[in-house]
Amino acid sequence: MFMRRHWYFLLLLFVVILALLAWSARTQLTEAVITRAMSDAGLTDITADIQQLDVSECSISRLKFTLLTDTALLHLVAHNINISYQPEEIINGHIDRLSVDTLNISYQQNTSTIGESAESHEPPEPDKAIKALKHALAEYIFFNEIHVEHFMLSGSPLSKLDGKTLRLKSTVKDKSLAAEITLLNPPLGEQTRALPQIVISSLTEDSLKAELRLIDPTGINGEKLAANLELALQNSGITGRYLVKPQRLQSWLQPWLPPGGNALSDKKALAGTTDITGTVLFDLAPDKPAKDKQVLATLTAACDKLSYQEFSTGNAAIKLKIKTSADDPGKRIQILNGSYFNASDYKYGNFSLNASHIFMVGELTNSSGNWVYQGGFRSDSFAASYQSQVFKIKNINARLLSGPEILQMSGDFSPVAVSGKFTFDLDQDIAGPRPGKLTVKSLNPLDLNAENSRLSQLLAHWPYPFDLLTGNIKLTLHASWSQQADFRLTSNIQFTDVGGYFNEIVFSGLSFDHELEILPELQSIHGSTVKLEHIDSGVTASNVSAGFELESTNTGPLPRFAVEGLQGEIFGGVFSADNFVYDANSSKNHLRIKASEIDLAEIVKTQQLEDLTVTGRVSGFIPVEINENGIRVEDGAFINDIDSGTIRYNPATATAQLKQNPLTGIALEALRDFRYSYLSAGVNYTEEGNLSVKLQLKGTSPELDTKRPVHLNINTEQNLLSLLKSLRYAQGLSEKIDYKVRRIYENNQKKAVTH
């Protein structure tokens, strides 16, 4: 208002000048009068060089002055000014046309006001500002047309415009102001492109219509719309709508920015983004007392497709409901209930995220120019996808604290398909050296015991050869990072009574609690013990346990597994293994399994031979080699533990041809009732699954009419993998396996056969 009053006063000076002209017709006297009047108005450093002055036109070759405001010094220098007017209009302070060839305005901060309290420069209340705008449009529009061919601005708050030349054209008709501001000298590299232009097509007491345009300097392609804005101005508030064409707006903004790389320099960054439309609504609450006045605003935006570089999303919509005080709107802004963001699909590279409405509520505060946001958001569901995998969560709640020096976020969520709940906590020191941290942990464990719960339901497409079907799982993840240290990711995994399957191996009662470093190296932080109540691979083992630890190694990128104390029960006996290390980078690994008191009767049961019964127990060892092709056993050996045992083999069929051979006939006869005192077995196994056993028997047989010892050597060979499959098919799973695991696994096998 200070500058406007002085400018209006200067216009009235022209009335005095014209009156003096009628008496003196001397420009020197007029210059002196103007200089004195401008000085009385508070202007300094005044120069006014009048070139022509008559009853309808005035030409000023140079006009210069300095205006001191509360916060700054404004220096104005204008060249080649031409003013056209009608005598009857100039009396009322109105002119037809003002044209300026060159106008320079520079801003210099007033150092004498630095440090003064902010209260001395309180911003006007918004409703009063609108009233002042309407009054200015009604009272202070003193021209029909203004044209400034070369308009330049400089100074610290205008540094973005340093070195840029603008052209200003403005007209007034029926109390409606129209204006065009065009950038004439874009930076090097931009000259051949369209020139950015700000267009006010209509500004009245009640409305504003404005556009951002791109003008072809050659005139070939005309002009293109980059954005537009329509506002209805009322004392009680503002309503309006807008349209943004993102790629054109990017081109429009680029010439205004300093040369060199910036966020808008990549012309392909917004490729594919469609028009953005939205509305604005400001309720200025003019009837309330000044101390209680609040500005309520609702902002909306919508876009069919939004993309920036590798990020994209579809059907994006945002609604912000905000509240701030009228006396200081930039100090504290509240985001109110009802604010949300929604989009159909967020994509970044191979990662995508589908979410329901993301509701927001919080507060933005500004202290000494630093913005801080504190609030939260919630959403009913997220579906995160990576490549072909989809992970769905629900009931997402988060709290956020964000500022120039810190970012903190915490909250919780639950998986959609499996009962459980997780919390997360993010802490990032943006400005300082303190390392960033992220923790995700189970508040409630994943519960797989419900009828339809299984681990594979966490992903829409489960590609793995295993699944977990019963039990509870707890998971904790810790991540930390800093400029001084490598990114570190650790986890704690706890299984309690878990059942499931891995390929053809079915198990139940799996329990362990293990702490693991994943990055920068995959290794155990502490060793732990794994326990497995039952495992069925066609034959059943029980009460299996072992201590294990993952160790980093210099033999390759994969870890090695240190196993100790491996033991369990099988075939009525027990087995164990020497401590061993399995190196995942090595082509061969070895371990030695010891077996004790294996019940031969239990082994025979697996063969499903009704004509064969065996008693006795054996013990021995199996040297195992794990290589790139599978498992290999060479020269395993077993021998009987007790002095005697029996073998009774009396096949009902298919023996006539064998008995024709004297040797096999005698052997079959002896095995009808063979009482051995010595039994040994040599065992070999190939990667293809072929098992060969060489039996040596010493004993007697009442079926042979002799008391001499009988020695028998029997060689057998069969494919163990085929045998295990046939046993699984014939006998089904052991009843020791959890019922839910058995039912789901067998149903899956039936479906696989039918397909």
Q: In the prediction, which pLDDT does 204 show?
A: 86
Region 57-70 average pLDDT: 83
Which is more confident, 523 or 189? 523
On whether the CB atoms of residues 12 and 93 are closer than 8 A, the answer is yes
Residue at 132: amino acid letter: A
Which is more confident, 348 or 420? 420
Region 105-129 average pLDDT: 58
Measured CA to CA, the distance from residue 223 to residue 300 in angstroms comes to 28
Q: Which helix (H) or strand (E) holds 90?
A: helix 87-90
Which is more confident, 752 or 534? 534
Q: In the prediction, which pLDDT does 21 show?
A: 45
How much is the mean pLDDT over the chain? 83
Region 513-527 average pLDDT: 92
- Helix 2-24 to helix 27-40 angle (10° resolution) is 160
49-53, 295-299, 490-494 — most confident range: 490-494
Total-model pTM: 0.73
Residue 70 has pLDDT above 70, yes or no: no
Region 350-377 average pLDDT: 87
Which is more confident, 492 or 429? 492
Which is more confident, 687 or 260? 687
Q: In the prediction, which pLDDT does 477 show?
A: 95
Measured CA to CA, the distance from residue 166 to residue 100 in angstroms comes to 12
Q: How many CB atoms lie within 10 A of CB 159?
A: 12
Q: In the prediction, which pLDDT does 418 show?
A: 92
Which is more confident, 255 or 680? 680
Task: Categorize the per-residue pLDDT at 13 as very low, low, confident or very high, splitting at 50, 70 and 90.
Answer: very low
Q: In the prediction, which pLDDT does 391 show?
A: 86
Per residue in 138-153, pLDDT (tens digit) is 665 667 899 999 988 8
Q: In the prediction, which pLDDT does 31 show?
A: 58
Which is more confident, 422 or 185? 422
Q: In the prediction, which pLDDT does 133 show?
A: 63
Boundaries of every domain in the chain? 486-744
Region 573-599 average pLDDT: 94
Region 548-574 average pLDDT: 92
Region 635-644 average pLDDT: 88
Q: Around 220, how many Cα atoms within 13 Å sit in the side-chain half-sphere?
A: 4
Lowest mean pLDDT among 162-171, 537-546, 574-583, 589-598: 162-171
Q: In the prediction, which pLDDT does 124 show?
A: 54
The set of residues, in sequence order, having a beta carbon less than 8 Å from that of 92 and lying 6+ positions away, is none
Which is more confident, 26 or 103? 103
| Contacts of the segment 388-397: beta carbons below 8 A, 24+ positions apart | 388/461, 388/463, 389/459, 389/460, 389/461, 389/463, 390/459, 390/460, 390/461, 391/458, 391/459, 392/416, 392/417, 392/458, 392/460
Task: Categorize the per-residue pLDDT at 18 as very low, low, confident or very high, splitting at 50, 70 and 90.
Answer: very low
Residue 568 has pLDDT above 90, yes or no: yes
Per residue in 648-680, pLDDT (tens digit) is 988 766 555 555 555 566 788 888 899 999 999
Residue 23 has pLDDT above 50, yes or no: no
Q: Give the CA dihedral 146, 148, 152, 157, nearest 10 degrees.
A: 10
Region 514-520 average pLDDT: 92
Q: In the prediction, which pLDDT does 6 show?
A: 43
Residue at 59: amino acid letter: S
3-state secondary structure 200-261: EEEECCCEEEEEEEEECCCCCCCEEEEEEEEEEEECCEEEEEEEECHHHHHHHHHHHCCCCC
